[in-house]
Structure 1
Amino acid sequence: MTLNESDARHLLTRTGFAPSPQQLAPWVGLGAEAAVDRLIDAARAARFMHPPPDFTREPIRTPLGQLPDDDARKAARQQARRDTLDLAAWWLQEMRDTPAPLAERMVLFWHNHFATSVQKVQNPQGMFIQQQLFRTHALGSFAELLHGIARDPAMLIYLDGAANKAQAPNENFAREVMELFTLGEGQYREQDIKEAARAFSGWTVDRADWSARLRPRLHDGGGKTLLGRSAAFDTDGALDQMLAQPAAARFIAGKLWREFVSPVPEAAALDRVAARLRGSGWRIDAALRELLLSDAFWAPSARAALIKSPVELTVGTLRQFDVQLDSMLPIARAGAKLGQSLFVPPNVKGWPGYTDWIDSTTLLERKRFTERLFRGVEMGGMEKGAGGLHFDADAWLTQFGAHADREPDAATKTRIEMAVLAAPPVNPLPAGTVGLSMLRALSLDPAFQLK
């Protein structure tokens, strides 16, 4: 299969963010295998485009509970909110500028899979450290990532793993690691949760240096029966026993399918992805390659079958139109209004996605976002204090042989619509709509919300 413009746009949008015409051009004419391999290789080699916020390189801050008074704690909370917003803005800038958007999409995927909120963790530095774990293993071994997240201080705090002691077991992490992280509902019993909680007991977090430590005297080292096997399971043994279940590879493959292909997996194709995941030693890149080269991924029925997340909508719009914006803080705030605050997922299940992204309020906010963006182009700033917004509509349209001051012919208009929308527009463009007004109208079409 050789990629035409539509195929290349589908691949790049699904595995990253909507591409600009310049970003799309090098992919047209590639074979599907060569394109997928190029995507994955670039993601594995990805590095930061911009240095992370300064606070990420500072010593770990004093925990709230150790501060001397209410005023100090209030100031620390306010600083943490600013830091979290700065961290989100930095990550969005990485998404906006990266030449390997699949890398950022996979970090976002794992942030949602292993959902952890700074609201409970109360340490933006710890959230950055967790994100680096996701970056390290984003396309590597799921098994290594799973073992790493079980020892991650942010996760230990978020799911109360640091409060799980042999003398007083806490089952939160044990329940969620099976239901949400490895197996899915119906693949374990309540007794398995109790046994797994015993296996996970004994971990603590030293908030002074943000390290996780296993305290042997707090760990239950006795025999346990977990998922049909008896042994003196510890953390590693319990996780390996979960990964040994046939349901595990299929569960992770299903999550990847719903992220990149369609809301409902095809059973036979999903089995092949799951088999590749397990057979490769839990390599995410191998499973993703199998997925992206499946007939189901390229099928017409998979096109425009998913709804853009707020991050995909905001970052994709900037990339698609090559909009330059000095500060990404307005984009971070816009994402929050649309229902996706980075580092603050709604709960341990993460953002449910798909049609849950859209309701009467968020749909209105989505339209307001693009309306404000294009109005900001005309006015020189998206929000007060956020200068540097620039988009050259004439230059963008010239790539299609169109001009900002006159209406394109029917064929050119169709090419522009295909470049902006994943499906034909719901609302035909009014006659005489040209230039920036035409692009604004397309961005307000319901089809702009699809990918």
Structure 2
Amino acid sequence: MGEISERAAVRRLHDRLGFGLGPGDAEAGYDVAVRRLLGVAGEGAPPPALTAPAPVEKPAKGQKRDKEARKAANKARVAQEAKVTGWWLDRMVASGGAVGGPAGAATERLTWFWHGHFATSEQKVRSPQLMLAQNQTFRKFARGSFTELARAMVVDAAMIRWLDGNDNREGSPNENLAREFLELFTLGIGHYAETDVFEGARALTGWTIRRTSTQARFVPARHDSAPKTMLGKTGNFDAKGFVDLALAKPESAPFVIERLWFRLVSATPPPAATMDRLVAAYGVRRDVGAVLKAITAEPAFRDSGSTLVKQPVEWVVGLMRALGVQPAKLDDKSRMKVLAGLRGMGQLPLRPPSVGGWPSGGSWLTTSAGVTRLQLALLLARNAELGQLQKSSARVDGVRALLGVDQWSTRTRDALAGVTEPAQMVAVAACAPEYVVSG
């Protein structure tokens, strides 16, 4: 393996820390691109206004549930979920533009990363309002202190509903949230004991959620205030104490950093010397932004062998950015087709398949997903302005430049040469390995 060119490194930087190149991004040098991406982000588009559907009253004894009322409430919830998902996709596509600035792209990409790390699904939460509030929390702490993010997540209303925290009370601790927090969010398997899970659940007792609020509340009467012994310490620990004990374990920093590395750099874990440098950058503040900057300085980040298959959301957002297609400007039918396409490829925002998040790598390259990918690429291409390809005498190179691909393989070039209609050419190119894989 060897080091990729400066231009290829800039493209990779925008692929991994953002959602692909924006106008003028390819012309900047690598160091300039790093500074822009990891600078201060603008606000971006505000969140959508959501109105909680009226709750369906529990029927009196002997009465049947009002099926029509339940159906209407469910329809309203589904519409609100689509509204939140569409808004988020729109932010992803617009990130890096005039409103959020280049750093907005990195913030949005890390918001997406944390959604997969602290995976929470609307399928069980059944509240777009709670999912939106969680999304805003991810964004607030996206590139800041992991300590602050972890503390916020352990008492997040959507997370509490997703992992049964509402059932966690003194005398009857529910272990789901404590277990997943240790295993999937902060430490990893083998770095805690079953006693730590039980005692952690006791520390998390007392937090509940109400239908009328997007914030969890602490009810002292439900909290177990007796001393607890976990992760080698004894004390009257609460939710904050539980988080701090987990993050203080020496295994926590490498665990979190390796998760970032796995999604942003390579499926091959960083060497020990690299991990030492990244842990030093992470520091006592557990600074995610500092780790990202340190990652971009590592030779592995510019190694030609550090390739990653784009997840469906990364692929479709990057394609819309390249084509200048903004989701909010599509007609209702096309917007719904975009969501259906993401669902067909197996990755719809707000709907991770489990608390472990989405898979990675070649698992996205199935035959059925490939068909859906081609159909979605064609839909987006037909909503784009492709006049430059109509007039170009070198369309194959024109579509390469449009999508920000360094070069085509002979096989891909031959396939594209046989396509004359611009939208079809863009669709075929967007499904080529050179675009689907972030090289």
Q: Shorter-chain TM-score category?
A: 0.7 to 0.9
Instruction: Measure the CA separation in 2 of the matches of 1:115 and 1:144.
Output: 17
The equivalent of 1:406 in structure 2 is 393
Cα 1:39–1:392 change in 2 (3 A) is same
Q: Deviations over 1:19-39 (max 9, x none)?
A: 25x332442xx252x321211
Question: Contact between 1:393 and 1:435, CA under 8 Å: does it hold in 2?
Answer: no
The equivalent of 1:201 in structure 2 is 205
Q: Does 1:337 align with 2:333?
A: no
Instruction: Measure the CA separation in 1 of the matches of 2:126 and 2:418.
Output: 53
Q: What is the deviation of 1:224?
A: 1.5
Question: Contact between 2:400 and 2:408, CA under 8 Å: does it hold in 1?
Answer: no
Cα 1:371–1:160 change in 2 (3 A) is same
Instruction: Pick from 278, 282, 301 the counterpart of residue 283 of structure 2.
Output: 278
Cα 1:275–1:63 change in 2 (3 A) is farther
> In structure 1, what residue type is equivalent to 2:316?
T
Name the SS for the 2:259 alignment partner. helix
Name the SS for the 2:413 alignment partner. coil
Q: What is the deviation of 1:216?
A: 1.7
The equivalent of 1:233 in structure 2 is 237
The equivalent of 2:133 in structure 1 is 129
Cα 1:143–1:79 change in 2 (3 A) is same
Which stretches in structure 1 are left out of the alignment for 5+ residues?
378-388, 398-402
Q: What is the deviation of 1:176?
A: 0.2
Cα 1:62–1:413 change in 2 (3 A) is closer
Q: Does 1:420 align with 2:415?
A: no
Q: What is the deviation of 1:406?
A: 2.6
Instruction: Measure the CA separation in 1 of the matches of 2:75 and 2:302.
Output: 47
Question: Contact between 2:378 and 2:426, CA under 8 Å: does it hold in 1?
Answer: no
Instruction: Measure the CA separation in 1 of the matches of 2:245 and 2:252.
Output: 10
Q: Does 1:264 align with 2:260?
A: no
Instruction: Measure the CA separation in 2 of the matches of 1:415 and 1:216.
Output: 61
> In structure 2, what residue type is equivalent to 1:107?
T
Name the SS for the 2:9 alignment partner. helix
The equivalent of 2:44 in structure 1 is 48
Q: What is the deviation of 1:306?
A: 0.6
Instruction: Pick from 66, 69, 72 the counterpart of residue 69 of structure 1.
Output: 66
Q: What is the deviation of 1:139?
A: 0.7
Q: Deviations over 1:323-352 (max 9, x none)?
A: 355134432222111111111111111112
Q: Which moved more, 1:360-369 or 1:260-269?
A: 360-369
> In structure 2, what residue type is equivalent to 1:274?
V
Instruction: Pick from 319, 322, 327 the counterpart of residue 320 of structure 1.
Output: 322
Cα 1:427–1:343 change in 2 (3 A) is same
Question: Contact between 1:404 and 1:434, CA under 8 Å: does it hold in 2?
Answer: no
Instruction: Pick from 382, 385, 395 the counterpart of residue 391 of structure 1.
Output: 385
Instruction: Pick from 243, 250, 261 the counterpart of residue 247 of structure 2.
Output: 243
Q: What is the deviation of 1:88?
A: 0.6
Q: Deviations over 1:229-259 (max 9, x none)?
A: 2222111111100000011110110111011
Name the SS for the 1:225 alignment partner. strand
> In structure 1, what residue type is equivalent to 2:7?
E
Instruction: Measure the CA separation in 1 of the matches of 2:58 and 2:299.
Output: 56
Which stretches in structure 2 are left out of the alignment for 5+ residues?
60-64, 97-103
Cα 1:66–1:272 change in 2 (3 A) is farther
Cα 1:69–1:208 change in 2 (3 A) is farther
Instruction: Measure the CA separation in 1 of the matches of 2:216 and 2:316.
Output: 36
Instruction: Measure the CA separation in 1 of the matches of 2:367 and 2:4.
Output: 40
Question: Contact between 1:407 and 1:432, CA under 8 Å: does it hold in 2?
Answer: no
Q: What is the deviation of 1:65?
A: 5.8
TM-score, normalised relative to structure 2:
0.87
Q: Which moved more, 1:134-143 or 1:8-17?
A: 8-17
Q: What is the deviation of 1:371?
A: 3.1
Q: What is the deviation of 1:362?
A: 1.2
Q: Deviations over 1:97-136 (max 9, x none)?
A: 1223212111111111111111211110111111111111
The equivalent of 1:356 in structure 2 is 363
Q: Does 1:450 align with 2:415?
A: no
Instruction: Measure the CA separation in 1 of the matches of 2:268 and 2:27.
Output: 31
The equivalent of 2:94 in structure 1 is 97
Instruction: Measure the CA separation in 1 of the matches of 2:16 and 2:241.
Output: 36
Q: Deviations over 1:263-293 (max 9, x none)?
A: 11222212321232134x1111011111111
TM-score, normalised relative to structure 1:
0.85
Cα 1:406–1:135 change in 2 (3 A) is same
Cα 1:339–1:393 change in 2 (3 A) is farther
| Residues paired across the two proteins, number | 416
Pairwise CA RMSD of aligned residues?
A: 2.6
The equivalent of 1:114 in structure 2 is 118
Name the SS for the 2:199 alignment partner. helix
Q: Does 1:13 align with 2:48?
A: no
Question: Contact between 1:324 and 1:391, CA under 8 Å: does it hold in 2?
Answer: no
Instruction: Pick from 222, 226, 235 the counterpart of residue 226 of structure 2.
Output: 222
Instruction: Measure the CA separation in 1 of the matches of 2:208 and 2:403.
Output: 53
Name the SS for the 1:331 alignment partner. helix
Cα 1:37–1:413 change in 2 (3 A) is closer
Cα 1:74–1:250 change in 2 (3 A) is same
